[in-house]
Copies of this chain bind each other. A is one copy, B any other.
Amino acid sequence: MSEIKVVTNILQTNDAITAKNKDLLNDKGIYVVNLMSSPGSGKTSLLELIIAKLKNDINIAVIEGDIYTTKDAQRIEAQGVPVVQINTGGACHLDGEMIKGALSSLNLDKIDLLVIENVGNLVCPAEFEIGEDIKICVLSTTEGNDKPLKYPLMFEKSGAVILNKLDLIDYTNFDKEEFYRDIKSLNANVDTFETSCVKDQGIDEICLWLVSKIENKKIKAK
């Protein structure tokens, strides 16, 4: 029982810090995405394309969460937008305290969209609120269509699910019908997108959808 109590305390502490981060982000009218997936599903590749398409019209900043290395932050920096790297040093997810530190390094007056790329992990990141307006979960076709029921929390909590690597689906046994049936059984109102970064497929739809979310948030903040 003591272990359970500790976990509850950790979550409560996180929620308190996150609430403060969220107040700050709401005051500034910044729309915040918590981008999550397994390692290698294509989060950073999707983000590179989204930034390239939106950066002339929207002020974007990125917080990159990785256990080690600055590989992803370097890729985002090359897109010419502000980026802060968090190295968790072993921890399997981002939390409110880490985000608080990263926010202090960003000029929040010049951000419309903040994307937080979480640690590659289909389990733990879903348990920790980090001040996001929406959780977006990416799954790639090569990972198999059985993942929503095997990792339900991630899919239950996400406001949108992106099925990526559509260019590879013909080389897999991925069953789209079953995939969408499982997702909808967990989360009836989730928005879904299909993308291929290699073929630049489906990214425009995500950008349009994101822009409407960002504009809604700005209107509410005024």
* Residue positions of A touching B, CB distance < 8 A: 3, 6, 10, 38-40, 66-69, 71, 90, 92, 119-124, 140, 142-144, 146-147, 149-153, 165, 167-168, 171
Contact = CB atoms under 8 A, between A and B. Distances in A.
A147 B92 contact: no
Number of copies: 2
Contacts of A69: 146, 149-150
Given A6-B6, A92-B123, A171-B168, A40 B149 contact: no
Contacts of A153: 67, 90
A142 B120 contact: no
B149 A71 contact: yes
Could you say which of A39, A144, A149, A150 has the most chain B C-beta atoms within 10 Å of its C-beta? Answer: A39
A158 to B, nearest CB: 15
Contact of A92 (B40, B92, B140): B92
Contact of A123 (B3, B119, B144, B152): B119
B68 A143 contact: no
6 closest A-B pairs (Cβ-Cβ)? A40-B143, A92-B123, A142-B142, A38-B38, A40-B144, A38-B39
Contact of A142 (B71, B140, B146): B140
Contact of A167 (B38, B66, B124, B171): B171
A143 B45 CA distance: 12
Given A6-B6, A68-B152, A150-B39, A142 B123 contact: no
A68 B150 contact: yes
A68 B168 contact: no
Contacts of A92: 92, 121, 123-124
Contacts of A152: 67-68
Contact of A120 (B38, B40, B71, B167): B38
A41 to B, nearest CB: 8
A16 to B, nearest CB: 15
B123 A122 contact: no
Contacts of A149: 68-69, 71
A140 B40 CA distance: 9
A10 B167 CA distance: 43
